[in-house]
Structure 1
Amino acid sequence: MHRHHKNVVTAGKALSEASKAMIMIHGRGGSAAGILEIAESLEVADFALLAPQANQHTWYPYSFMAPVANNQPGLDTGLAVIGEILDDILAAGISRENIYLLGFSQGACLTSEFLARNAGHFGGAFIYSGGVIGAEVDRSNYSGDFEGTPILLGCSDVDAHVPLHRVQDTTSIFAEMGAEVTERIYPNGPHTILADEIELTNRILTRSQS
């Protein structure tokens, strides 16, 4: 099985010099460079930013609402990539509570699924237009305790790719697992990252600095 892991685009500070880190996961058809551009609007001056590039710009072939088996092996590979990057950050001496995760669209779904399977005390997570993966929610895959990790879920109520009920289910799962969840549903909103989501993200990012 090939790994995308070797293809990680970085920005911000070097891991050896950073006090915090953010893993940024692009969407279907997107790129690592593209998701990193969002950081220009974020309060991440002291961060190492790490964005893996998916092979052929997609993490898995079908909708995140398809049966999990249909999206293998891409799904497992993508989850493993996030895990490897997380391990690299921890190995560099940055603690989990100073690590943040951000994803948009397919990247938000992959990030949601990774978090649900690997809950812990992170600095925060930002889920833009996404939710946990599968035709049905399988809570038996999920374990851990977020211990108050702030998680933002933002999505349109009419998103063509992301059903509202799956966003709400993801909010419930994260809350049950100990996260401090902010859910924002934007009426008739587009499938994009909105200025309001950036503002809410920055509130979480600057929380520990105030």
Structure 2
Amino acid sequence: MAHILDIKTAGKPLNEAEKALIMIHGRGGSAQDILSLSQYLNVKDYALLAPQATKGSWYPFSFIAPVEQNEPWLSSAVETIGKTVEKALAEGIKPENIYFFGFSQGACLTLEFLARNAQRFGGAAAIIGGVIGEKINRENYHGDFAQTPVFLGTSNPDFHVPVERVYATANIFREMNANVTEKVYQNFGHSINQEEIELANSLIFV
């Protein structure tokens, strides 16, 4: 099953904005949910783009299940992010002015897309996520982030995302020349906290 390309928008119209923020919702969430978070981010002059997952889920199983169990949904989901980026590029927004924000399943998908397509982007905030797969397939990841700022926030423990995968993801992104900040909150739970919003604003949306 492939995802139907359904991109919700908010903020400045794409053809009037210099910057675009792509927001990726989590499992059971929606594009509208994640767009509503933008009111807490320093993105008033950004065009906001949020693709909607078909039936509210980007792929059926855990992100640390064997990849083949999550196909063809996973490949389709990665392609959806790519098409959302293309939409911004087609309106003249430069890659270094394209930003990402993902939560939970959306954070995993954001990180997987970026690791497969590393270049200088504006920045990325991924809350509770890591690259995808039972085992990390480093061969899938190439490019140079050219010091793109990346913020990874998570809770330890988290029922869905082991903290070890967050650390492993941070290391891969550093190897690929991203400027990574990670922050682990003890027993915070599966949600976004105020400090993560403040860090995203001070590190990414500046």
Q: For the superposition of Structure 1 and Structure 2, which TM-score range results when normalised by the shorter chain?
A: over 0.9
1: CA distance between counterparts of 2:203 and 2:153?
A: 14
SS in 2 for 1:160: coil
Q: Which amino acid counterpart does residue 85 of structure 1 have in structure 2?
A: T
Whole-Å separation in 2 of the counterparts to 1:35 and 1:55: 15
Please list the CA deviations of residues 131-190 of structure 1 after superposition, one character each: whole Å capped at 9, or x if unmatched.
000000110000000000000000001000000100000000000000000000001111
Gaps of 5+ in 2: none
Identity of aligned residues (%): 55
Q: Which amino acid in the other structure matches residue 167 of structure 2?
A: Q
Hey, what does 2:141 align to over in structure 1? 142
TM-score (normalizing by structure 2): 0.98
| 3-state SS of paired residue (1:24) | strand
- TM-superposition CA deviations, 1:10-59 (whole Å, max 9, x none): 00011000110011000000000000011010010110000011011000
Letter in 2 for 1:157: N
Report 1:35-114 matches (<5 A). Answer: 35-114=34-113
Q: Look up the match of 1:170.
A: 169
Contact 1:43 1:205 in 2 (8 A): no
When normalised by structure 1's length, the TM-score is: 0.96
Equivalent residue pairs, number = 206
One-letter amino acid matched to 1:100: Y
Aligned-partner Cα distance in 2 for 1:53–1:93: 23
Q: Distance in 1 between matches of 2:174 and 2:51?
A: 27
Could you tell me how far apart the structure 2 residues matched to 1:51 and 1:57 are?
12
Counterpart for residue 4 of structure 2: 4
Counterpart of 2:154, as a letter, is C
Matches within 5 A, 1:176-187: 176-187=175-186
Show structure 1 runs of 4+ deviating over 6 A: none
Residue type matched to 1:193 in 2? Answer: I
Unaligned stretches of 5+ residues in structure 1: none
Query: C-alpha distance in 2, partners of 1:35/1:11?
Result: 11
Q: Which amino acid aligns with 1:70?
A: Q
Tell me which residue corresponds to 2:16: 17
- How far did 1:205 drift? 3.8
Cα distance between partner residues in 2 of 1:112 and 1:205: 15
Amino acid at match of 1:48: A
Distance change in 2, residues 1:158/1:97 (3 Å): same
Displacement after TM superposition at 1:206 (Å): 4.4
Instruction: Give the structure 2 partner of residue 192 of structure 1.
Output: 191
Distance 1:184 1:15, change over 3 A: same
